[in-house]
Amino acid sequence: MKIAILGTRGIPNNYGGFEQFAEYLSVLLVKKNHKVTVYSPHFHPYKKKEYKSVHIKYIYSPEKYIGASANFVYDFLCLRDALKEDYDIILECGYHSNAPSYYLMRGRKRPVLITNMDGLEWKRSKWNIITRWLIKKLEKLAVKKSHYLISDNTGIQQYYLNEFGVNSYYIAYGANPVYAFNENILLSYSLSKENYYVLIARLEPENNIEMILDGFILSKSSLPFVVIGNHLTKYGVYLKKKYQGFNIHFIGGIYNKDILDSLRYYSKAYFHGHSVGGTNPSLLEAMASQALIVAHSNDFNRAVLKNNAFFFSLDRDVAHVINSLDNMMNDEIAMKKKNNCELIIKEYSWSVITNQYEKLFENILKDSLF
């Protein structure tokens, strides 16, 4: 098959979730003898035309001049170019800046346009009411114009069925199990094994940072709480000021996976407050790192974790979990960690996810409608 992956900031991954997804998926599909092209903005620091046998096509993006609005221009130019090629499949990652360019399809049935719908972007509290309205309109447009939809979480899949009456294919995001950790990393942050709590997230309201930290304060725990994420934003500055004087440490963003894996693994518990996404990459990485997870109680997180975590809905729930940990049986904690790692291997490893995409693409191309 000839496959194009659009809607990311290119590979090798130098940015975030969809970029990591595009890198793993494209490299593994090429190993299965498919021809894969990943579209990248012209300013990507990697300049070669191939990466691990994946073809890279560089497309102009005016981000330097118009900021985030450049995504609409970039995505339009990517799809326009892709439609000139002979791809069997175009996989779009996300929809909110991609959807307007879908009019270029003009009723075409080839190449097959498949959109991975990501999370419920319009629910993010950082958006004002007008932006939320626009994102909802773009979501509807993507649903209407895509040939097929992919949901990375059963909660997202159910949302599209309820909201639009459309079926989408469920294929999760991926992660690989981690087995190597470095305890010496803790020394750099004045931490010791299983004597700290950690949270790794974008510092945004919908990630329930305040609920978690308020609960930590209510617990009166003597252990430090480490918050990893860029705190140089308006909300980040607010959080630092609010929790000044407490045993809460904002250490900024860390982008080295080996360091993050070790900080998760050696923590007493990893807190996950995400509430509007689908299958969140950082949650899978915590599972893969064999961390004990305390997660916000919502359909998305529960669909991934099943019973292998502790859940909270209020700050007092957080306090209760923290105060209960010392009295919990080690076997119970070890079992949750083990079950999560096994879930990663069986359901979320990148090889499993790639096989699911390959099978879906092949079945779609065999569909009599095309």
User: Which tokens is 290 given?
Assistant: 């064999």
Mean pLDDT of 123-146: 86
User: What does the mean pLDDT of the chain come to?
Assistant: 93
Number of residues in the chain = 370
In the chain the beta strands, taken as DSSP E runs, fall at 2-6, 35-41, 50-51, 54-59, 89-93, 112-116, 148-151, 169-170, 197-200, 225-228, 248-250, 269-272, 293-296, 310-312
Task: Pick 2-174+349-366's CATH classification: 3.40.309.10, 3.40.50.720, 3.40.50.9100, 3.40.50.2000.
Answer: 3.40.50.2000
Give pLDDT, residue 358.
Answer: 98
User: Sheet harboring 35-41: ordered strands across?
Assistant: 50-51, 54-59, 35-41, 2-6, 89-93, 112-116, 148-151, 169-170
| Residue range 246-304, pLDDT digits in tens | 999 999 999 889 999 999 999 999 999 998 777 888 999 999 999 999 999 998 899 99
| Residue range 348-358, pLDDT digits in tens | 999 999 999 99
Integer CA distances (angstroms), 173 to 33, 218, 353, in order:
22, 34, 7
Give pLDDT, residue 136.
Answer: 87
pLDDT of 312 above 50? yes
Q: Determine the Cα–Cα distance for residues 325 and 316; give it in Å rounded to an integer.
A: 14
Q: Which of 176, 179, 188, 193 is nearest to 228 (CA)?
A: 188
Write out the residue limits of the CATH 3.40.50.2000 domain(s) in the chain.
2-174+349-366, 183-348
Task: Pick 183-348's CATH classification: 3.30.1360.120, 3.40.309.10, 3.40.50.2000, 3.30.565.10.
Answer: 3.40.50.2000
> What is the model's pTM?
0.89
Give pLDDT, residue 368.
Answer: 44
Percentage with pLDDT > 70 across the chain: 99
At residue 92, the 3 state secondary structure works out as: strand
DSSP state, 94?
A: -
Give pLDDT, residue 370.
Answer: 44
Q: Determine the Cα–Cα distance for residues 302 and 67; give it in Å rounded to an integer.
A: 36
Q: Which residues contact 236 (CB under 8 A, 6 or more apart)?
A: 203, 229, 230, 250
**Exposure string (b/e) for 125-145, b if CB count within 10 Å is 16 or more?**
eeeeeeebeebbebbebbbeb
Q: Determine the Cα–Cα distance for residues 285 and 290; give it in Å rounded to an integer.
A: 9
Q: Determine the Cα–Cα distance for residues 193 and 198; give it in Å rounded to an integer.
A: 12
| Residue range 269-278, pLDDT digits in tens | 999 999 877 7
CB 225 within 8 A of CB 199: yes
Q: Which of 251, 241, 237, 234 is nearest to 200 (CA)?
A: 251
